[in-house]
């Protein structure tokens, strides 16, 4: 049986408390007050209430840590080396339309500054799907788990047998011609391409071996922080599509097993070469 550390217990307690409000509001989704934040990007009362709970619970447990939160932005802490990356509701559009696929994502980031260079590293991550009661969690060097079961990435080695996840970009993010070129290239060689609308869960599913890979651009650190940790601790590879390690800054992500990651990367890069 997997034994959670005190830190993971703090994260789980916060996520489960915030999830109670999300589940209540999901059951009354037609009554939600909704305001637009941008094209296909909404803020709901449920989202804001969940954020308030998460910041409150995590702040009480680790009062010196800062935050980078989807709705409130950056909240500095007394400890400059540690920061929570929090998405209180990943899959907002699904939530608003009554589609049962959304989650809470929490990651702990360690920030080191040396010789004028900043190094960012995720040391713990949690993705909670309250509808399925699936708690994906992990810590650096400890492993990745869903509830009490250890996770491993898919063992498939043939791209022709692989199911790859992605997300269709909204109006103000990745240029559509770039995405369509990537999508066409992957569709030509993979068994299938899925779009579910929650990047944190997509990465958790890669860690669990449910998806064989995932790529997307234009993401934020709170979307992917926890998922990066989960995939790596489950034995997978995560880089930018171009191969770099600056995912938290660039929002470009390619996650897969060590067998498929190089092959998917070649397909994606070839599809947009010269653009």
pTM reported for the whole predicted model:
0.94
163-166: strand order across its sheet: 192-195, 163-166, 213-216, 253-256, 237-239
Classify burial at 184, counting beta carbons within 10 Å of its beta carbon; exposed 0-12, middle 13-18, buried 19 or more.
exposed
pLDDT score recorded for residue 259: 94
Q: In angstroms, how far is the first alpha carbon of the chain from the final one?
A: 49
* CATH H-level superfamily of 6-150: Fructose-1,6-Bisphosphatase, subunit A, domain 1 (3.30.540.10)
Cβ pair 90, 76 in contact under 8 A: no
pLDDT score recorded for residue 273: 86
Mean pLDDT by 10 residues, the chain (275 residues): 91 98 87 66 83 97 95 92 97 91 97 87 98 98 97 97 91 77 96 96 98 96 97 98 95 96 97 80
**How far, in whole angstroms, is CA 236 from its chain's centroid?**
15
pLDDT score recorded for residue 10: 97
pLDDT score recorded for residue 171: 61
Q: What is the CATH number of domain 159-271?
A: 3.40.190.80
pLDDT score recorded for residue 8: 97
pLDDT score recorded for residue 38: 62
Domain limits, CATH 3.30.540.10, in the chain: 6-150
Domain limits, CATH 3.40.190.80, in the chain: 159-271
Which pLDDT tens digit goes with each residue over 94-148?
A: 998 889 999 999 999 999 988 888 899 999 999 999 999 999 999 999 999 999 9
């Amino acid at each position: 049986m997997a034994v959670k550390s005190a830190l993971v217990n703090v994260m789980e307690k916060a996520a489960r408390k915030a999830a109670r409000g999300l589940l209540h509001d999901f059951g009354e989704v037609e009554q939600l007050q909704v305001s637009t934040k941008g094209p296909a990007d909404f803020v709901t009362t449920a989202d804001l209430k969940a954020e308030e709970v998460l910041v409150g619970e995590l702040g009480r447990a680790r009062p010196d840590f800062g935050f980078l939160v989807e709705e409130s932005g950056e909240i500095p802490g007394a400890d400059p080396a540690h920061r929570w990356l929090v998405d209180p509701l990943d899959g907002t559009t699904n939530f608003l339309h009554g589609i049962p696929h959304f989650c809470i994502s929490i990651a702990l980031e360690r920030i080191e500054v040396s010789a004028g260079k900043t190094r960012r590293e995720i040391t713990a991550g949690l993705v909670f799907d309250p509808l399925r009661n699936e708690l994906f969690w992990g810590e650096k060097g400890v492993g990745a788990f869903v509830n009490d079961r250890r996770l491993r990435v898919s063992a498939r080695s043939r791209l022709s047998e692989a199911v790859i996840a992605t997300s269709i970009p909204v109006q103000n993010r990745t240029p559509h011609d770039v995405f369509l070129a990537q999508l066409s290239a992957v569709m030509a060689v993979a068994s299938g391409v899925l779009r579910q609308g929650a990047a944190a869960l997509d990465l958790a599913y890669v860690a669990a071996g449910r998806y064989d890979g995932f790529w997307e651009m234009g993401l934020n650190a709170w979307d992917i922080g926890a998922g990066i940790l989960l995939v790596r601790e489950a034995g997978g590879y995560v880089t930018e599509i171009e191969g770099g390690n600056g995912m938290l800054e660039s929002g470009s992500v390619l996650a897969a097993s060590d067998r498929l990651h190089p092959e998917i990367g070649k397909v994606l890069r070839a599809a947009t070469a010269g653009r």
